[in-house]
Amino acid sequence: MHLSSVCLAKPVLYSYFRSSCSWRVRIAFALKGIEYNLVPVNLIKDGGQQRSEQYSKLNPMQQVPAVEIDGITLCQSLAVIQYIDETRPGPCLLPVDPKARAKVRMISDLIASGIQPIQNLSVLQKVGEEKVPWGQHFINRGFQALEPILKETSGKYCVGDEISMADICLVPQVYNAERFKVDIGQYPTIRKINETLLELEAFKVSHPSHQPDTPANLQA
């Protein structure tokens, strides 16, 4: 199979160490064994580097991640994950079976669309001093929906016994929940799956505590 020089070039990931969306992509790259170049985008420094003119051209939403890959730029984490799943070898991140695939997408969307955006930095900056109870409320609301779904769909992981895009979404969201001091013990299925996944190398190397832009006081 002929591969163009564009496809052979390493992807470039524009990432912030604590961004759950960036972490999803880092996990996917690790699971697929894809080497990439990382460009830190500090969401706090200089008023938010994501708001710079240069970065806004990459991602007009002024969010992370952005990924330059195969001559294109992708800006949404689930789009990146699905693209690399369709174009790169390695473990499948979406099941072949249509019903299982639909469940993976459902769980991924529940987290990526229904829970995580409400804790985005831009949202929390508007909320102000009430950001912790705000985050707790909406994470608990989402986890109360997610827990019974995972009881039905899970095996070892979110959907059966194979790692999928749903697992890639789950772990960063649990990390966010812990940052907001949500009692994960209320959600035994979520907690069990998360603990299992955190033992895997792909989830360890991509963890926020192990990134080039992680502040020294937060490094593991």
pLDDT tens for the chain, 220 residues long, are: 344 445 568 999 999 999 999 999 999 999 999 999 999 998 888 888 898 999 999 999 999 999 999 999 999 999 999 999 999 999 999 999 999 999 999 999 999 999 998 777 777 777 777 888 888 999 999 999 999 999 999 999 999 999 999 999 999 999 999 999 999 999 999 999 999 999 999 999 999 999 999 988 888 7
Q: What is the pLDDT of residue 7?
A: 57
Instruction: Indicate whether 25 and 105 sit together in one domain.
Output: no
| 218 occurs within a structural domain | no
Q: What is the pLDDT of residue 198?
A: 98
pTM value? Answer: 0.92
Q: What is the CATH number of the domain that holds 58?
A: 3.40.30.10
Instruction: Indicate whether 35 and 18 sit together in one domain.
Output: yes
Task: State which residues form the domain around 42.
Answer: 10-91
Q: What is the pLDDT of residue 121?
A: 73
In the numeric block, which tokens belong to residue 99? Answer: 């019903």
CA within 13 Å, CB half, 175: 21
Runs of H (alpha helix) within 10-97:
20-32, 53-58, 77-87
Q: What is the pLDDT of residue 1?
A: 37
| 1 occurs within a structural domain | no
Give the chain's domain count. Answer: 2
| 160 occurs within a structural domain | yes
Which amino acid, one-letter code, is at 192?
K
Q: What is the pLDDT of residue 129?
A: 78
Runs of H (alpha helix) within 88-160:
98-109, 121-127, 131-153
Instruction: Indicate whether 30 and 103 sit together in one domain.
Output: no
Q: What is the pLDDT of residue 8?
A: 65
Instruction: Indicate whether 66 and 129 sit together in one domain.
Output: no
In the numeric block, which tokens belong to residue 162? Answer: 């194979």
Q: Is 101 buried (19+), middle (13-18) or exposed (0-12) by CB count in 10 A?
A: middle
Q: What is the pLDDT of residue 35?
A: 97
**Rg (the chain; Cα; Å):** 17
Instruction: Indicate whether 106 and 73 sit together in one domain.
Output: no
Instruction: Indicate whether 141 and 116 sit together in one domain.
Output: yes
Q: What is the CATH number of the domain that holds 114?
A: 1.20.1050.10
Instruction: Indicate whether 79 and 174 sit together in one domain.
Output: no
